[in-house]
C-alpha cells in the first residue's frame, strides 16, 4: 500500500537540503535544477575528454533495473556511469526471480546485500520509487528512470538542458506540448521542470480523450485546437500515443488524430520561425510527427538523446557525492 505522504519532494533531500535520491521534479528547488543543468552542460563536451572523466570509487555499484522497455534511458545511464568510473550492472528482469513471484522490495534488498549502492529503476507502479526511498533510502540511492504515467524526471532534466542550450531565457518562452498528455510521464515531468524554471506560457494540446483530469501544474493551459496551441510557440514537443497504458485502444480514431494533431511543416508555420521541435522518443513517424520534420533543421531530437548522457552523469555524480558526505 503506497501512501501519498511519502511522495513529498522533501523525502528525496538530505537534512541540509541536498539531493539524496531522484524521485520527482515536482517542487524541486530551482537551485538544485540549475546545479544539475550547469554540470550537465560541462559534460556535453565529453567527447573531447578522456574516457573516464571522474574516477569514482569503483566499489560503488550502480544497478539498472528496467521493468518496462527502454532504449535511451537505460543505455544513457549505463554510458554515464561508465564515464564516471562506476561499476555498472544491467539487471536482466526477464530472467530474474521476479518471474517466480519475488517482490521488487525483495529483489532490491537482495541486490543491496551483494553490494549494490545505487538503484536506477523504471517501473509501471505509481509511487514505487518513493516507497523504496522510505524502505531502503538510508542505505541506497534511488533514481526514478520512469514511473508509469506519473513521472520521468531525468527526461525532464534533459528536456530543460536542451531548451536552455537553444533559447535565451526560460522566462521569455512559450512551450507547447502536443499529444497524449493524459498517459505521458514525459509531459508531467517536463511541465514540472518548466514551471519551476519560470516559462512564460506552458500549453498542452490534445484531443479530449487524451486530456488529463486535472491541470498538470499551476501555469499549464489546455487546448484542443492545435493552431491555438502552436501560435507563436518557441518550443514544440510532440508525444507518442501511449497505447500500452490504455485498457481499450479501439476507440482511438487514428486518422482523425493524424489530421488534427500531427506536427507537420505546415502546422509549424504558426509557431515562431525559430521554434525548436522536440520529441522524447521513441517516435511513431508520420503519426504524431511528420517524418521529415523530425529529421529537419528545427529538430533537436537527437540532441535530446545526447544530452541524456550528460544529465545522467551530472545526476550520478552529485547524488554520489551527497551520499558520501552524509
Burial zone of 13 (CB within 10 Å; 0-12 exposed, 13-18 middle, 19+ buried):
middle
Spatial separation of the C-alpha atoms in residues 93 and 133, rounded to whole Å: 21
Q: How far is the CB of 245 from ligand CP (least distance, A)?
A: 13
- Measured from the Cβ of residue 34, the count of other Cβ atoms closer than 10 Å reads 14
198 binds ligand CP (CB under 6 A): no
Q: How far is CA 37 from CA 79, 161, 257, in A?
A: 18, 6, 35
Q: How far is the CB of 77 from ligand CP (least distance, A)?
A: 9
| Distance of alpha carbon 112 from the chain centroid | 25
Q: Which is closer to ligand CP, CB of 115 or CB of 282?
A: 282
193 binds ligand CP (CB under 6 A): no
131 binds ligand CP (CB under 6 A): no
**Which helix (H) or strand (E) is 228 found in, with range?**
helix 226-230
Which part of the chain contacts ligand CP (CB under 6 A), choosing from 55-63, 228-236, 254-262, 275-283?
275-283
- ∠ CA 36-42-43, rounded to 5°: 90
Burial zone of 172 (CB within 10 Å; 0-12 exposed, 13-18 middle, 19+ buried):
exposed
Q: How far is the CB of 318 from ligand CP (least distance, A)?
A: 21
Q: Which is closer to ligand CP, CB of 155 or CB of 174?
A: 155
Taking CB under 6 A as the criterion, the residue among 70, 224, 260, 322 binding ligand CP is: 70
What does residue 270 show for φ and ψ, rounded to 5 degrees?
-85, -15
144 binds ligand CP (CB under 6 A): no
Spatial separation of the C-alpha atoms in residues 305 and 70, rounded to whole Å: 13
Q: Which is closer to ligand CP, CB of 85 or CB of 281?
A: 281
Q: How far is the CB of 151 from ligand CP (least distance, A)?
A: 11
Q: Which is closer to ligand CP, CB of 35 or CB of 72?
A: 72
Taking CB under 6 A as the criterion, the residue among 71, 110, 249, 253 binding ligand CP is: 71
72 binds ligand CP (CB under 6 A): yes
Which part of the chain contacts ligand CP (CB under 6 A), choosing from 9-17, 50-58, 71-79, 309-317?
71-79
* Relative orientation angle of helices 301-324 and 72-83, to the nearest 10 degrees: 50
The contact set with ligand CP (CB under 6 A) reads 70-73, 146, 152, 155, 280-282
Amino acid at each position: 500500500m503506497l501512501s501519498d505522504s511519502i511522495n513529498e519532494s522533501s523525502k528525496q533531500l538530505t537534512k541540509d537540503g541536498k539531493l539524496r535520491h531522484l524521485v520527482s521534479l515536482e517542487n524541486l528547488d530551482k537551485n538544485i535544477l540549475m546545479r544539475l543543468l550547469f554540470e550537465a552542460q560541462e559534460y556535453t563536451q565529453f567527447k573531447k575528454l578522456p574516457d573516464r572523466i571522474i574516477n569514482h570509487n569503483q566499489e560503488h555499484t550502480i544497478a539498472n533495473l528496467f521493468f518496462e522497455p527502454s532504449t535511451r534511458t537505460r543505455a544513457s545511464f549505463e554510458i554515464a556511469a561508465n564515464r564516471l568510473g562506476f561499476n555498472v550492472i544491467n539487471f536482466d528482469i526477464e530472467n530474474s526471480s521476479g518471474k517466480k513471484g519475488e517482490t521488487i522490495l525483495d529483489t532490491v534488498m537482495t541486490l543491496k546485500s551483494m553490494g549494490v549502492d545505487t538503484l536506477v529503476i523504471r517501473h509501471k507502479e505509481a509511487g514505487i520509487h518513493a516507497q523504496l526511498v522510505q524502505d531502503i533510502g538510508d542505505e541506497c540511492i534511488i533514481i526514478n528512470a520512469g514511473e508509469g504515467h506519473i513521472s520521468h524526471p531525468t527526461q525532464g532534466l534533459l528536456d530543460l538542458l536542451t531548451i536552455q542550450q537553444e533559447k535565451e531565457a526560460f522566462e521569455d518562452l512559450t512551450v507547447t506540448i502536443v499529444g497524449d498528455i493524459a498517459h505521458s510521464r514525459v509531459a508531467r515531468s517536463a511541465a514540472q521542470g518548466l514551471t519551476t524554471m519560470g516559462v512564460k506560457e506552458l500549453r498542452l494540446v490534445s484531443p479530449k480523450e487524451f486530456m488529463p483530469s486535472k491541470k498538470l501544474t499551476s501555469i499549464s493551459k489546455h487546448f484542443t485546437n492545435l493552431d491555438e496551441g502552436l501560435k507563436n510557440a518557441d518550443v514544440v514537443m510532440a508525444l507518442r500515443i501511449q497505447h500500452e497504458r490504455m485498457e481499450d485502444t479501439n476507440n482511438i480514431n487514428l486518422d482523425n488524430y493524424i489530421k488534427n494533431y500531427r506536427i507537420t511543416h505546415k502546422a509549424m508555420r504558426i509557431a515562431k520561425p525559430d521554434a525548436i521541435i522536440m520529441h522524447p522518443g521513441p517516435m511513431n513517424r508520420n503519426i504524431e510527427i511528420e517524418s521529415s520534420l523530425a529529421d529537419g533543421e528545427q529538430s533537436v531530437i537527437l540532441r535530446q538523446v545526447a544530452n541524456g548522457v550528460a544529465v545522467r552523469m551530472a545526476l550520478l555524480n552529485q547524488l554520489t557525492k551527497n551520499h558520501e558526505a552524509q
